[in-house]
Structure 1
Amino acid sequence: PEPDQFLDNDWDEKNDGSLELTKKAHIQVKAYYDNFPSIDDVTNDTRQEVKQAKAFTDSILQNLPSGNVTERATACHVLKNLLEAQNIQCLFYDSKHGKDLRDSSGILAEIDSKERPFVLKLNNCKGLGGSMGPKTEHGALRLSRILLDALEKNESHPVIEDVRKRLSEAHRTNKENISVKSIYVGSFNVAYTVKDWTPDAVESLPELEKNLKDKFEQFVAAKIHPLLCRPAFDISFFDKQGNKTFSDSYETHQVGPPGKTQTYISPAGWTRYGLKVLDKYSNGNNWLHPFQDPRNWYRAFHGTGHASADDFNKSKQSFDQQYASVDALGSIYKTGFRSARVAAFGAGVYCSPDPKFPEKGYVGVVQCDTQQGKKKFKCMLQVAVNPDGVRIATDKEIWVVPNPEDIRPYGILIKEA
């Protein structure tokens, strides 16, 4: 690693790259992790708004829905059953009436992912790995790049190793079980996963927060991935502005930055419940709105099934290590060339720009009791994908997004199976 005194040198665009793009990348990552709830949010069930949300959830789910996909109650039951299939319990609340919890709709594309990180926020990194830490914004950006480069190359770095050691002690686990996934500025933030941590361990979170404060003098806050606990969804997240029943005819539009556009195909025959995502992210709304703004992200569709080791013709051990976060859409291909696809693109969230593609047996099917008897509903997510954060296959039917901050759900698509 570079000595501390060199970190705060003036930024050199020739050697350090674009300062604007570097800042943009950190803002992007921060916008994603800022939506995680704090440990206190998760563990404090005595708060009045949590009690109200529990009662509100019961009031929605205790009655059978009509079974009409255009009615909100049906959509709530479908979402609840979709999450229950993953052993995830959820809460609903209504922010329009002052009951404001932290909405978790932004992570719906990660239902199948095992990559569910914690986030540790520190004032700075002083003392970690013997470092005095940077004193300027340029220094913080430069250090984070050094650390991220070490992570990408799987190389050791004193700061990272010290962080992992302290985290392992706070979690009371072996250091080998701690994996640092990302480091970003806005103070000093570390996103990390803990091997084999399950929602059953949620009762230990208050002790974990105390341990983190003991191990890190610069402690500010600790956050947790919503799917590691009990995600909450704003019932008003079914944003009327984004709700739509699509006609049976497919429409196509070009979306994305000039010279790099991709074709958006409307999901004919589906009903979309628009998620309340405008003003949700700190870097503005142009990624989604207005439609066909040159800063729009690409549009795609994400299935809600599971990938398995067999889908990739891999042993269970190999699959867990290499493909733990690969979505079921990757399993559409025949075994003979699935492996090539996965090897070419690596782990990530898989999606398709063609709404017909995931329907070939790989869209999640949810069964619900309704006033019309048992019904089955197909369900997939409409997502926006960062043009700078997606890898596209040569046949263009399947995309992979390596980093979760580069894919944002903005609608739940439902239709009868």
Structure 2
Amino acid sequence: MQKKQAELRAYYDNFPDIEEITNQKAPNIQKAEAFTQSILSELPSGNVTQRDTACHVLFHLLGNEKQDCLFFDSRQGVSLNDASGNLVDLSFQDRPFVLKVSDIDGLGNQKFKKDAQYDMKLIKTLDRVIQQNQADPIIDDLLERLSKAHHIDKKKITFKIVYCGSFCVVYTVTDLATNVIRTLTGIESKLRNQFKQFVAAKIHPLLYRPSFDISHFDERGNKTFTAHITTFEVGPFGRTKNYTQPGGWTRYGLKVLGKYKSDEWLKPFGHPGNWYRAYHGTGNATADDFGSSGAAFHKQFAPVDAAASIFEKGFRPARVNHYGDGVYCSPNPTFPEKSFIREIELDTKQGKKTFKCMLMVAVNPDGVKFATNDIWVVKSPDNIRTYGILIKEA
């Protein structure tokens, strides 16, 4: 259980503070806005191998007229959360909040011992209560206070999990419409008023105005693949899977080496510790694409441009996926390209051009279900990592 708690802390504690990203007067936000404008003020070259074109494509995929994404360069002293590592999380309808308090003494009108062993037992008990949807005075009190802070009906709040590291509760708000997102400004002070033990309030990096550090593009991972299709075997001995390179695409590498405990999931290529290689689409899918128009469907290849629809329409309650919940990806680069990639038209220095974009991902061999030869399902976001952004001219 301690290992799982450490994994939860590593994932959720990296979410940005709400105040950090909603304070439009903050120096980092203002610098990022100016930097973003400097990129967008000039027409892109139209060459997929040049980064200005990639930035314009990403901006149009992630933003809309109501909600823009931000670019920044940490090498210039700007410190914001980089959302590039969370791109595949767009497949999940839940974009959670995280409330961190120093302790829960007094919640539910109860007193608690203050020792690590007792805390772990309490975390385990509350997790079971949440998973089994049981009544509990602590959970009920948390729900009441959160609904007051967000000014929403308690039925709109869903608890996902609790974890230690102080005391942290992860929750979502269903049907989070645009006007609710805009009221996130000031939510930290409202949470402070409700919780005297308040430590921090965090938010999923893709929920509100995602920001991207262009210094996290890694030239070592950049590559333009020829039209000739090349395949390799990747993965553990006796369990390898085909890695088919994306012929005709240009890859922009992301700085992921050194980010995790070991680099063997990606490098050296051919190591038995390598994770499988796959592709994640950036366009909308429907049930018809899977030959089942009457089936409940949940956008199997959830798009990068889903961020725009989230900001416009909010989240809808999750439906049952055709092959189960999780991130859908494919080992076949031509499969998502057929129906699951959105095309972006840009004015460039070479005239109007249309581009396609998809993500290059690595998948944990121990955390993937092979639904079909072309469709893989990864239940946990911990088991899929984006290491490249693929762009090509349509």
1:12 corresponding residue in structure 2: none
1:114 to 93, 113, 116: 93
Which amino acid counterpart does residue 306 of structure 1 have in structure 2? N
AA partner of residue 364 (structure 2): N
Percent identity between the two aligned chains: 51
Residue 44 of structure 1 pairs with residue 13 of structure 2: no
Structure 2 Cα separation of the partners of residues 144 and 293 of structure 1: 38
Please report how far the alpha carbon of residue 131 of structure 1 lies from its aligned counterpart in structure 2 after TM superposition. 5.2
Counterparts of 1:132 and 1:253, CA distance in 2: 59
Runs of 4+ residues deviating >6 angstroms: none
TM-aligned CA distance change 1:126 to 1:314, over 3 Å:
farther
After TM superposition, the score normalised by the length of structure 2 is 0.84
Helix, strand or coil for the counterpart of 1:376? strand
1:415 is aligned to: 392
Flag the 1:255–1:119 CA change in 2: closer, same or farther, 3 A. Answer: farther
Identify the residue that residue 229 of structure 1 maps to in structure 2.
208
Instruction: Using the TM superposition, name which of 104-113 and 186-195 deviates more.
Output: 104-113
Please say if residues 23 and 185 of structure 2, whose CA atoms lie closer than 8 Å, have aligned partners that are also in contact. Answer: no
Matched, 1:298 2:272: no
The residue number in structure 2 matching 1:381 is: 359
Whether the aligned pair in 1 keeps the contact of 2:285 and 2:339 (CA below 8 Å) is no
User: 1:176: Cα distance to partner?
Assistant: 0.7
**Distance in 2 (alpha carbons) for counterparts of 1:298 and 1:23:** 27
| Contact 1:111/1:304, CA 8 A, preserved across alignment | no
Once the two structures are superposed, residues 361-389 of structure 1 have per-residue CA deviations (whole angstroms, 9 ceiling, x without a partner) of 22221111111111111110112233343
- Secondary structure (helix, strand or coil) at the match of 1:228 reads coil
Secondary structure of the residue aligned to 1:360 is helix
**Alignment partner of 2:9: what SS?**
helix
The residue number in structure 1 matching 2:374 is: 397
1:397 is paired with a residue of what secondary structure?
coil
1:191 matched to 2:170? The reply is: yes
Tell me if structure 1 keeps the 8 A contact 2:48–2:393. Answer: yes
Equivalent position SS for 2:47? coil
Contact 2:17 2:203 in 1 (8 A): yes
Query: Which piece of structure 1 moves more, 237-246 or 261-270?
Result: 261-270
Which moved further from structure 2: 344-353 or 149-158?
149-158
Q: How does 1:80-95 map to 2 (within 5 A)?
A: 80-84=59-63, 88-95=67-74
What's the Cα RMSD here? 2.9
Q: Secondary structure at the match of 1:357?
A: helix
In structure 2, do the counterparts of structure 1 residues 147 and 309 end up closer, same or farther at CA, with 3 Å as the change threshold? farther
Describe the shift of the 1:271–1:212 C-alpha distance in structure 2 as closer, same or farther (beyond 3 A). Answer: same
> Structure 2: where are the runs of 5+ without partners?
304-319
Instruction: Give 2:154's aligned amino acid.
Output: K
- Distance in 1, matches of 2:333 and 2:23, equals 40
Give, in whole Å, the separation in 2 of the partners of 1:367 and 1:155.
Answer: 50
CA 1:85–1:39 in 2, change beyond 3 Å: closer, same or farther? closer
Q: 2:343 maps to what in 1?
A: 365
Give unpaired runs (5+ residues) of structure 1.
1-21, 330-341
CA drift at 1:194 = 0.8
- Looking at structure 2, the residues matched to 184 and 39 of structure 1 have their Cα atoms a distance apart, in angstroms, of 19
The separation in 2 between residues aligned to 1:266 and 1:86, in whole angstroms, is 35
Kept in 2, the 8 Å contact 1:267–1:355? The answer is yes
How many angstroms apart in 2 are the aligned matches of 1:254 and 1:191?
Answer: 39
Change (3 A) 1:272 1:79: same
Q: Equivalents in 1 of 2:136, 2:41: separation in Å? A: 53
Secondary structure class of the residue paired with 2:103: coil
Does the 8 Å contact 2:343/2:354 carry over to 1?
yes
**Is residue 283–residue 339 contact of structure 2 (8 Å, CA) maintained in 1?**
no
User: Which of 345, 356, 369 is the aligned partner of 2:334?
Assistant: 356
Instruction: Give distance in 2, aligned partners of 1:145 and 1:296.
Output: 33
Letter of the 2:380 partner, please give it. Answer: N
**Are 1:288 and 2:266 an aligned pair?**
yes
More helix per residue: 1
Whole-angstrom distance in 2 between the partners of 1:52 and 1:343: 41
Q: Which moved more, 1:347-356 or 1:285-294?
A: 285-294
How far apart, in 2, do the equivalents of 1:257 and 1:140 lie?
Answer: 38
Once residues 167 and 261 of structure 1 are traced to their aligned partners in structure 2, the CA distance between those partners, rounded to angstroms, is 47
Whether the 8 Å contact between 2:90 and 2:302 is mirrored in structure 1 is: no
Q: Residues 142 and 361 from structure 1, CA distance in 2 versus in 1: closer, same or farther, beyond 3 angstroms?
A: same
Question: TM-score by structure 1 length?
Answer: 0.80
The correspondence for 2:45, drawn from 60, 66, 69, is: 66
Contact kept in structure 2, 1:244 and 1:272, CA below 8 Å: yes
